[in-house]
Amino acid sequence: MDAEQQRAAVLEAAEKLFYGKGIQAVGMDEIRTAAGVSLKAIYKLFPSKDALVAQVLTIRDRRWTDGLHKYVDKARTPEAKILAVFDWLEEMFADNDFRGCSFINSYGELGATSPTVADAAQHNKACYQDELSALVADAGLPDRVAVQIGLLTEGALTTAAILGPDGVVDGAREAAAVLIGAQR
């Protein structure tokens, strides 16, 4: 395995383990075993666990944004683009490995003690809110609707992770449609 393949294997293993078990619950030995890469090679690629966590969260952030755009870009009207956010959530919730939002989870676990995690979570949530603000502005709606849609989606993520996804997306999507309709 060359360095790039090792890097990919370590990132894939770390992402899966961190998301499934939590960052603190996963040791570097477990990542080594899952990735099939020696500890020496891992530390050559990532000088610390914190550096590995930062890279995993960067990947998750990119995946989050790409997933959002996959649905929003297909919608035809400005209002449909806003509601497409809920189609995206529905896809996430259908994954058998869904454990909630990586950023909410990592912030809850380490946000108070890890500036790396706190910064990554704040960046993700701020960028997501900016995306919602742009969608809401394109629909000619007041910016407070973006905040409200953000609260609905974040609440849906948390509820689906804790209680299960049944009915969560439909309820959040219906509430969003009511919010949008109330502005017309």
Question: CB within 8 A of 162, min separation 6: which ones?
Answer: 100
Residue 176 to residues 120, 131, 147, 162, Cα–Cα distance (Å): 27, 16, 11, 21
Question: Angle at CA 157, nearest 5°, toward 100 and 64?
Answer: 75
pLDDT tens digits, residue range 14-62?
999 999 999 999 999 999 999 999 999 999 999 999 999 999 999 999 9
Residue given tokens 């919730």 in the structure block = 93
Which pLDDT score is estimated for 26? 98
Tokens matching residue 23:
């960052």
In this structure, are residues 85 and 64 in contact, taking their beta carbons and an 8 Å threshold?
no
The superfamily in CATH containing domain 1-47 is: Homeodomain-like (1.10.10.60)
Domain ranges of the chain: 1-47, 50-182
Structure token digits, residue 117: 């995690």
pLDDT at 159: 98
- The yes-or-no verdict on residue 1 having pLDDT over 90 is no
| 50-182 CATH | 1.10.357.10
Q: What is the pTM of this model?
A: 0.92
**Residue that the structure tokens 């109330």 belong to:** 182
Place of tokens 């919010």: 179
Give how far Cα 103 sits from Cα of 1, 3, 107, 120, Å.
Answer: 31, 28, 6, 7
CA distance 42 to 35: 9
pLDDT of residue 184: 78
Task: Tally Cβ neighbours within 10 Å of residue 78.
Answer: 15
Mean pLDDT of the chain: 97
Q: What angle do CA 10, 12, 16 make, to 5 degrees?
A: 115
Q: Residue 132: its pLDDT value, please?
A: 98
3-class secondary structure, 67: helix
Q: pLDDT tens across 133-174, in order? A: 999 999 999 999 999 999 999 999 999 999 999 999 999 999
Those residues with Cβ within 8 angstroms of residue 3's Cβ, 6 or more apart along the chain or in another chain: 41, 44, 45
